[in-house]
Amino acid sequence: MLSCATLLVSPAVVPLQPHLRALQSPRRPSLRSLSPDVVSPKAWSFPTTHRGCGSFHRFGRNGDLTCRGFPKTDEEKILQEGGAAGEGGSGSGGEGSDWTSSALLLLMWGGLMYYLFTLAPDQTPSRDLYFVQKLLNLKADDGFRMNGVLVPLWYIMGLWPLVYSMLLLPSGRSTKGGIPVWPFLVLSCGAGVYGLLPYFVLWRPPPPPIEETELQRWPLNLLESKLTAGVVFLAGMGLVISAASAGVADWMEFYQYFRESKFIHATSIDFTLLSVFAPFWVYNDITARKWYEKGSWLIPLSLVPFLGPALYLILRPAPPVKTSTVAPDSVNTE
């Protein structure tokens, strides 16, 4: 495969020869003395279809020949814009902003860990263990009625990792650093937001391009399914209605648990932070899917805890995929 420089000097490139002879002829004025209109790129552009150098060859104002790329297709422009955004984020200003947000998130995570292990209320450790066993169905029915707010909260916390998996895969993946997201998503099934925050610190956009066949394989075929999104939304709706319909006595009892129990205290903070971070990841997913103009109204709606992000997952379009393009035919230069 020939390079651009070889193609320019090759005798097979016949259209360039008359113009080169004209420039070299002593009877012709020099290129510098010609008017700007004559030496404009439009007047001196010669397209080639060489596979190794698919480009336009042009005479610049200083008489030099330059190579310019073919006009890009819409898909190539999308990929180029994404790459340019990533390069801009990795520049001096963008990288500084990334490190600032990462440092703040790291401090937040460290502060949360310190608070939960040293300052959070822990007056009823034996009761906390009993509650966990009851919620996991490890205790036989002993006639004790669990709190009407705690039970829906427990089950909705089991749905949050699935919602975040659908938001972070594939649009929340990192290109730089090669940090995979799936270990943190698995960790979030037991640790909630406390397991996701380290990934938020390490996350470096933009996400890598998505292959068309990737959407047909597990886990994306499950996470991109409208059926999965619908089941998550309906289950969350039922749990929210169950908690909202609990009586005042249940809510007062839950508040008392929150003040005494480390388990319920940490779970409540977990739910709150997952609800706070969700709108950002909804915005990130909308941007990655090139759907901001039509779907921006869902960003404020995603502020509604759990139900807002779950509704977005139902309405969002499929992500743009990277399709392979056929290179132009080469020119035989023998």
Residue 261 has φ and ψ, to the nearest 5°, of: -100, 125
Predicted confidence at residue 96, as pLDDT, reads: 54
Q: What is the pLDDT of residue 325?
A: 53
What per-residue confidence (pLDDT) applies to 290?
92
Domain edges within the chain: 13-69, 76-315
Q: pTM for the complete prediction?
A: 0.69
The radius of gyration of the chain from alpha carbons, rounded to an integer in Å, stands at: 30
235-249 as b/e: b if 16+ CB within 10 A: bbeebbebbeebeee
Q: What Cα–Cα distance (Å) separates residue 273 from each residue in 46, 106, 237, 268, 270?
A: 58, 14, 19, 9, 5
By DSSP bridging, strand 65-69 and strand 45-47 are unpaired
Question: For residue 189, what pLDDT is reported?
Answer: 95
Per residue of the chain (334 residues), give pLDDT as tens.
Answer: 434 434 333 444 444 444 444 444 444 444 444 444 444 444 444 444 444 444 444 444 444 444 444 444 444 444 444 444 444 333 334 555 678 999 999 999 999 999 999 999 999 999 999 999 999 999 888 889 999 999 999 999 999 999 999 999 988 888 766 789 999 999 999 999 999 999 999 998 888 888 888 888 888 999 999 999 999 999 999 999 999 999 999 999 999 999 999 999 999 999 999 999 999 999 999 999 999 999 999 999 999 999 999 999 999 999 988 775 544 444 444 4
The whole-number pLDDT of residue 140 equals 83
